[in-house]
Amino acid sequence: MEKKRKAAKKEIDAWNLAMEPVLRQLYKEAHPDESFVFDAAHGKRQRRAKKGGIDWYRYGTIIFEKKLLPFAFKYQKDFPGTIV
């Protein structure tokens, strides 16, 4: 369990490191007079799940990507025009 948590933290940190300059530039273009703080409100990914809460990272990587998307693509292929 600890290995998974550390791997997830590394992945989230890598995403934050790559996306901060991009998000900063977009914010500066839209709000030139305001200062930019890279936090959750401005796109920073953080894992804040407490005991018993929904962990968005686990939901997104395990449930959404590995289970829901393949099902949706297969269903759309079998039944074209269906919204999944």
Record the tokens describing residue 23, joined without a space: 């998000």
pLDDT at 10: 92
- Tokens representing 16 are 């934050």
Question: pLDDT tens, 44-56?
Answer: 988 876 776 777 8
pLDDT tens-digit readout, 50-82: 776 777 888 888 888 888 888 888 988 899 888
- Which pairs from 12-17 meet CB under 8 Å and 24+ separation? 12/45, 12/46, 12/47, 12/57, 15/45, 16/44, 16/45
Buried b (16+ CB within 10 A) or exposed e, 42-59: ebeeeeeeeeeeeeebee
DSSP secondary structure of 28-61 = HHH-TTSPP--SGGGT-------TTS--HHHIII
Q: Where are the domains of the chain?
A: 2-78
Predicted local confidence at residue 58, as pLDDT: 81
* Structure-token pair, residue 46: 């953080």
